Amino acid sequence: MEKTMLDYIRETPDVLLNIIDHSEEYTKALVDAYLEQKCDGLYLIASGSSYNGSLIAKPFIRHILGTEMILQTPFTFVNHELNYIGDQLFIAVSQSGCSTNTLDALKALKEKGKFTSCLVGRDDCDARDIADLTVNWQVGEEKVGFVTVGVSSLTCFLMCFALELARKTGKITDEKYDHAKTQLRKTQTIQPEMLEKTIELFNRKKEDFTDPSRVILLSSGPQYGIVVEGALKVAETSCISAMAYEAEEFLHGPIYPSRPEDLILIADNGDDPSSERMLDIADALRDITEKVFVITDSERIDEDHRFSTSDHTCKYTSVLYKLTCLQTLACLMTENSNHYEPHECVKAFRKANKVASKTREDLYLNLQKIE
């Protein structure tokens, strides 16, 4: 029997703990490249869930390294940003290692004479033929194209890379390094509880989740990346329109199409002052729709609308278990509604393959019933 998205979500802690416990070994080639190339900052190039995994890791990376990290999509990078690059370490990211746009970015960098590195999720990939350095981020095999453990493991790998580089360059003490590693490990002891509580609340409020007119996801700062990935996951699996916004910006225009049938998902930042404002927004949005659910430990939100856990970590690391909530919801919403099947016009578009996004076919299971 083939694995499902939920199976991979359940396997996530084992994968992430392996990365955390072997982070010095797994990230060494990338750390050495940064030092040998005398780089000034990081420049990540990625699309889809690889972009989102990098976005989720970005606040932690900046916090630990104290340096800027630029994140750009490959198409924009090649066509609009290539002439403005500096002396950063350029890291292309592609779980398949076969994304055409990411390979184009690597080729463009090579033509500029830049050292190129690529993070991949599998050793057998086309990126190895182009990049100067290819590093497997140790996700293992994930056959479902709507990746879950791939995003979480990429985020964790990038966090560990930042920690190892910061320790190597003396930007953090051994004490701070050990504390951060402990926090990262703790996230994966919390993850199973977040998974089970998400399933329990979904089953209790199933009608609110299975027939929304659209899904709005809101957050800010450290948690913003998980709502961007959550929106992508909901849209590509359930085929329901899903959009992510910074919570305050949602009030400045995007709120106007809202209807009582909308589902609104909010992720707060725990120990950050921004959380109180997001809880205020959550309370106020109940005037529009009763389908407002918040990932928070705050008792300001009642138990029927709150995804919470009995323990927690800081705002920078908690993304690793809070993301689980949105991944699980996307899976459950889809299995209880359209079963991954898009509209016939989308099937026709996919079958025509006029704008191929991968250099190889049959990389993932065909959950969308596109023959």
What structural domains does the chain harbor?
A: 5-172 (3.40.50.10490), 188-335 (3.40.50.10490)
Q: What is the mean pLDDT of residues 215-226?
A: 98
45 pLDDT higher than 90 = yes
pLDDT tens-digit readout, 332-360: 999 998 878 888 888 888 788 887 777 76
Instruction: Give the lowest-confidence range in 69-83, 285-299, 328-342.
Output: 328-342
**Residue 193's pLDDT is what?**
98
Per-residue pLDDT at 364 exceeds 70: no
Q: Determine the pLDDT at residue 196.
A: 98
Q: Please report, rounded to a whole number, the percentage of residues in the chain having pLDDT higher than 90.
A: 88
Q: What was the pLDDT predicted at 369?
A: 65
Mean pLDDT over 14-24 rounds to 98
Let me know: does 44 contact 54? Beta carbons within 8 Å: yes
Spatial separation of the C-alpha atoms in residues 286 and 265, rounded to whole Å: 12
Pick from 5-9, 80-84, 96-100, 173-177: least confident = 96-100
Does 184 have pLDDT greater than 60?
A: yes
What is the per-residue pLDDT for 329?
Answer: 98
Nearest by Cα to 306 from 322, 320, 317, 319: 322
Percent of the chain with pLDDT over 70: 97
- The reported pTM is 0.95
Of 49-58, 136-145, 178-187, 215-224, the one with minimum mean pLDDT is: 136-145
**pLDDT of the residue at 121:** 95
What is residue 371's predicted lDDT score, i.e. its pLDDT? Answer: 63
**Is there a contact between 92 and 105 (Cβ–Cβ < 8 Å)?**
yes
Measured at the CA of 320, the angle between CA 314 and CA 323, to 5 degrees, comes to 115
Distances (CA, A) of 154 to 39, 80, 120: 21, 26, 9
Q: For the residues of 183-207, what is the DSSP string, one character each?
A: HHHHHHHHHHHHHHHHHHHHHHTHH
Distance CA 113, CA 97 (A): 21
Beta bridge partners of 281: none
The pLDDT score that the predictor gives to residue 54 is 98
Q: With contact defined as beta carbons under 8 Å apart, do 109 and 61 qualify?
A: no
Beta strands in 68-137 (DSSP E): 69-72, 89-94, 116-120, 133-136
Sign of the CA dihedral 226, 229, 231, 234? negative
Lowest mean pLDDT across 45-49, 55-59, 335-339? 335-339
The answer to whether 210 and 40 are in contact (CB under 8 A) is no
When pLDDT is averaged across residues 10-26 and rounded to a whole number, the result is 98
Q: For residue range 254-277, what is the model confidence (pLDDT) as tens digits?
A: 999 999 999 999 999 998 899 999
pLDDT above 90: residue 370? no
Residue 111 has pLDDT above 60, yes or no: yes
**Of 136, 135, 99, which Cα lies nearest the Cα of 116?**
135
pLDDT over 90 (residue 251) = yes
> Tokens 């299995």 label which residue?
335
pLDDT score of 368:
64
Give the pLDDT confidence of 84-110 residue by residue, as tens digits: 999 999 999 999 999 999 999 999 999
33, 89 in Cβ contact below 8 A? yes
**Mean pLDDT, rounded, of the chain:** 95
Least confident of 173-187, 246-260, 321-335, 348-362: 348-362
Predicted pLDDT at 352: 80
